Structure 1
Amino acid sequence: MTETEEILKAHEDHTGVLDIQSDLAVHNKTELGRAYTPGVAVISKMIAKDPSLKNKYTVSGKLVALVTDGSAVLGLGNIGPAGGLPVIEGKALLYKDLAGINAIPIAVDQVSADEIVSTIKNTAKSFAGIHLEDIAAPKCFEIEEKLNEQLDIPVYHDDQEGTAIVVLAGLINAAKVTGRSLDFMHVVINGVGASGLATAKLLYAVGIKHLTLIDVYGVVTANDDRYNKYQRDMAKTLNTPSDMLGKQLTDVMDDQDVFIGLSDKHLLSQTDVHRMAKDPIIFALANPVPEIEPEDAAKAGAKVIATGSSQHPNQVNNILAFPGLFKGLLESGITHVDAKLQEVVAKALASVVANPTADEIVPGVFDDQVVKTVTAAVVDYANTL
C-alpha cells in the first residue's frame, strides 16, 4: 500500500479524524434525568437569567471554533471551504492530543468579510474562543479586527499570530547563535500576506526596525497602489523610501542579516545569500518546497537555516504556538492576543531550547515542554494585567 493509500484509508476508516465523546454516562433513568431531561431545565433557567453561566455549565466554556473558508491554504492556495476542512480537522486533533483543548472545525462559504463576521458573531455564544485559519489577505485582517471589536472571547488567526510568534522565537535563538542583537538586525521578509504582515508587525514591535517587505510587485512602499491598505500602512510605519518602488528581492539583499520567506518555492538564489552579511540567517518557510533548498543555502554561507518542513532541522511550525497559547487563553481569561502577549509567548518558546545551536533554534514539535511552557507564559502574563 502506498503512503497516499494509507492516508486515505486512515481518514476513510474513521470518516475523518475526530469524534464527539460524552463526559457523562446515560445507562438508566436517573442518569438520563441528570444529563438531559428534566435536569437540563434547571440549568437552562439559570442561564436564561445569567447568560455567563453557560461557560460554567455547558461545553461552550471549553470549546474553540476552528473557522476557515479555504481561500488561502498554505501550499495549496484557494481550494475552497470543503477543501480546507481536512486542515482544520487536523488542527482540532492536535488541540485535543497536545493540549486537551476541545475544538470543532467549521467551514464557511467564501462570502464577504462582513458576512463571515456576522456568521461567527451570531454563533459565538457556543464557543470559548475563535481560531481563524487559511483565510486570504486582506479579508482576514478585516475579519479579525471586527471580531476583536465585537466579541468578548479571544480571536486568534493562526496564519498571522501563530506564524509571527514562532518566527520570533526562532529569530531570538538564531541571533544568539550568530552573535547578533535583534535591535540591529536588517531583515527582509519575502511574502507579505497574512503571515508576512503579522510577522513584520511583531518584529517591529519588539524593536527590529530595519525591515524590508517584498511581495509580488517588489518592495512594498506606501505609494504603491497595487498593494492593499494594510501592506501600505506597514510600509509607511517602516518609512520605506518611495524610490524603492519596483525594486525586486535580488536588488535589496546586500548586507541583509536575515531572510524570512513566507512566499513560494525557489525565489532565493545562492547569489542572493552570498550578498548578505556574514553568517546570514535564512528562514525559507514556504511549503512544501522552500524558497531555497537548505543545502544550497548552506553552500552559499548561511549560518542558520530554518524551513517549514519536518524533513530538515529547525522546523518553524505554528504547532509550536497554538495548542499551548489557547490553553493559556482559556485558563487565564485573556480575550485579546496583542503584540505584547505574542512577544511573551515567543520568548517563552525560545527558552525551551536552553542552548541553541545552528541546528536547534526551536524545539521539536513533540517536545512535551512546549505546551506547558507556552501555557504558563500566557497565564503568568495575565497575572500582570
Structure 2
Amino acid sequence: MRDQATAGYDKRDLRFAGANTRDLSFDFAKGVLIILVIIGHLLQSVIYRDTDSFWLSPYFMAIYMFHMPLFMAVSGYLSSGAILRKSFGQAVGDRAMQLLLPMVVWCALICALKSTFVSPPRSLSDELWDFSREFTGTYWFIWAAFASFLLIKFLITFSRLSMWIISASAVVVAFLPITLSIVPLARYTYAFFCLGFLFSSRPQLTSVIVRPELPLVVLLSTATCLCFLAWGRETYAYNNLVLVHNAQSARQVLLMFAGSAAASAVAMQFMFQCWRAGCSAKVVRFVAVGLGQSTLLLYLVQGAVFRLMDLIQFGQLWGLITRIVVASVLGVAIVVIAMTIRWMVRDLGYVSRLVGAPPRPGLLKKANS
C-alpha cells in the first residue's frame, strides 16, 4: 500500500523526510489538514467574529465536514506501528510524552500570558481553574487522539478478536450519552481513528482509497455533495453533541457521520492526486516536510494564538476586505512563528519535544505519527 501511495516522487524526498521509509504523501495530507485547521479558526475568529453566521458559511462547512475526522483517521493509520509493536506501557508512555507534555507547556504559556495582561490580578485558585480549563478544552483534539490511541491499544492487548471489537467499540463510543466537556468531540472522532487503524492493517482496504475505481469516486463525491447541501447548524458535533434523543437528532447525527466519512474519503483521494502531480514542486514539498511534519507544533501555536485573541477587542467596525487581510496576515504569522520555533529548537533534543517540535533526525527516535 505504501508503495502505491508514494508512487510518483523520487529519491530526493528521502533527504527531506529524514527517513528511508517515511511516506511523504501522508505528511502532505497532514500539512494540508493543519492549514485547513488554521483557516477554519480564522473564519470563526476573524472573518465572522462576534457573530454565529460562521456555522452556515459554505467555506466553514466545507472545511469542518472532514478536516478533523480525516486528521484523526490519518493519526490512527500512522499510529498503527506504535500500537502493534510496542508494549502497552511503552506505547502509552511514549504517546503521553509526545502529546500531553507539550500541551502542558503551551497551556502554561497561555495562562502566564493571560495573567500578565489581564487586570486586576487573579487569585491562585482562579489561576489554577483557568489552567485546568485551558488544559482540557483548548487542545481537545490532542486529548481525543490520545484517548483513541489508549483505548485501541488496550483492546488489541487483551483481545484476539481485536478487529471486530475495535469496529464495535467505534459504534458504542459514538453513541454513549456523555456530554461532559470535550467528550462529544472525542466520541465523534474516535470512529475515524478506528477506521484509520483498521485500514493500516488491511492493505486491500487502503488500496480502495489510494487508487479507487471511478464508480466509487463518483458515488463518494455525489454523497459528499448531497450531505453538504443538507448540512446545517445542528449537524456539527459542537451543537448536536452526538446525541440521539428523537428522529430529528438521529438524522443530524447520521448526516454528520455519513457526510464526514464521504468527504474525508474524497478529500484524501484528492490530496493523494495532488501529491502525485506536484511532489517535485517546492511549495508542495514544503507543505509535506515543513508543515506536515510539524502538525503538532502548528496546532499548539495556533491554539495559543486564538485563545489569546479572545482577550482582544477588535474588528467590530472592520469591513470584509479588512477582515480577510487581517486573517491572511495572521495565518501567515502563525506558520512563521511555528517554523521559527522548529528551526530554533531542532538541535536541542528534549527541548524540541517539550514544545511539540520535531527534532532533527537522529537526535531522538521519531514517533510513528
Compute the TM-score of the two structures, normalised by the length of structure 1. 0.27
Please state which structure has a larger fraction of its residues in helix.
Answer: 2
Please state which structure has a larger fraction of its residues in strand.
Answer: 1
Larger Rg: 1
Compute the TM-score of the two structures, normalised by the length of structure 2. 0.28
